[in-house]
Structure 1
């Protein structure tokens, strides 16, 4: 009987998570070609325990995005680290509507481009699994290393709607560790 209760609890939890994710909308009429190009990740907020343990030491990273077949995105990411520049290439696979992806290689179960004007900022929602734990992350992308006040406002207005408080947010300082400026995504 106890096992049935535990199993039922897990089923309810998964249904609740699915319902919560369903409320996160994507950018209307998302255009992958307009979204392509170099983006700086200037701010992040997350309830991920790994992120929270490292957030005060993180630096601004870059993502170079390229629209590819079937609405997918090819993304080249560069993360400055104490021991150099970590580079990762990933395929963002379209699921459902335009602007909605999953990235199995990174454990990203649900990625949504929530808001973007394409020319200066984007707010990106990520629901992921890391080290067996599920977490929510929201990133602020900017075409320049300094986000506009409107971009920061859109970011700050959105992340509380997915249950993330201000004390889990960090504005990322610039770094020249990854000096390629974001190479072309493959």
Structure 2
């Protein structure tokens, strides 16, 4: 009886793991991601977020596709003291269209990034699985071409984040912020 119960539990756990697989948008076009995006939504199951959520504000990302299909990502956010926080990554394309990998030198983690849903002139929903020291966390970001998105898109972001296991209290729509100078 115990073996049967363990086998059933194993099947259940495997089915849950499969059902939480997040795939990129099928018809993804990296060239259409080019340009400026506003970081509007941020959701994660990482513990550090609890301590930093209240200080986070909207930032910008400049995405630049390379000739080889990779994606250069440059982030900037204005700090409360007037200084500018900046970070950049080169996300390398994989064999799966819309899926990229990169290593963050700043945070020393491996990143598996998927563009889950995008309407190139309006919004992009990006799902990233981060791994550091054998610990895996999930990060979802909602980008907009403008600093405001419709309530329906904000709800879509919240719903997607909950579906991939992020607690509602760890989902933030970031307050607007002035931009860093170029």
- TM (norm. structure 1) is 0.79
Over alpha carbons, which structure has the higher Rg? 2
Deviation at 1:93, TM superposition (A): 0.7
Verify the 8 A CA contact 1:81 1:177 in the aligned structure 2. Answer: no
1:29-48 CA-to-partner distances (Å, cap 9, x unmatched) read 10011111111011111111
Which ranges in structure 2 are unaligned for 5 or more consecutive residues? 1-9
CA distance in 1, matches of 2:20, 2:56: 30
SS in 2 for 1:55: helix
Q: 1:170 to 1:98 in 2, by over 3 A?
A: same
1:140 counterpart = 2:142: yes
Aligned length: 165
SS in 2 for 1:104: strand
CA distance in 2, matches of 1:46, 1:58: 13
Which ranges in structure 1 are unaligned for 5 or more consecutive residues? 1-11, 181-186
**Structure 1: which 4+ aligned runs deviate by more than 3 Å?**
19-22, 129-133
Partner of 1:6: none
| Correspondences of 1:11-160 after superposition (within 5 Å) | 19=17, 23-83=21-81, 84-105=83-104, 107-129=109-131, 133-160=135-162
1:175 counterpart = 2:169: no
Deviation at 1:94, TM superposition (A): 0.9
Deviation at 1:90, TM superposition (A): 1.1
Normalized per residue, the structure richer in helix is 1
